[in-house]
Amino acid sequence: MTSSFLLDTCTCIWLIAGTLPASSLQQLTDAYNADLQTYISPITALEIGIQARKGRFKSHLTPQNWLATLSKLPGMATAHMPPELLLDSALLPGDLHGDQADHIIAATARAYGFTVMTRDHALLDYGRQGYLSVVAC
């Protein structure tokens, strides 16, 4: 393990729900033990809010408490999202589908050298194209 993880939104959801695979939990634990922080994107908060507004947020926690719980996990930090990163997200090389949240996650990982932990096929494919460091969970 040589880089910090950036969790995509689904990975965050599974982490809080307790349904993230044991192997992925071990990778996060190993990163923590190596003094590497694990990052969440601010875009995750927006995606959770949108899911909640549409009635698709499935948690016993309110969206606000869910985000607070995620943010307080050991070794967790929020990635910076300056305007330049948002511009970079619109100008990514290669072929990544049109979901802007995924573009922002990819641009964040590229800017800071993070490895994205995801099950998202588009992000995994983007990694196979050589544009992104990814690990499947």
Domains of the chain: 5-136 (3.40.50.1010)
| CA 115/CA 5 separation, integer angstroms | 5
pLDDT class of 97 with cuts at 50, 70, 90: confident
Angle at which helices 9-17 and 42-53 cross, to 10°: 70
Cα 137 to chain centroid distance, Å, stands at 11
pTM for the whole thing?
A: 0.95
Residue 75 clears pLDDT 80, i.e. is over it: yes
Residue 2 clears pLDDT 80, i.e. is over it: no
Q: What's the per-residue H, E or C state across 100-118? A: HHHHHHHHHHHHHCCEEEE
Average confidence (pLDDT) over 112-116? 98
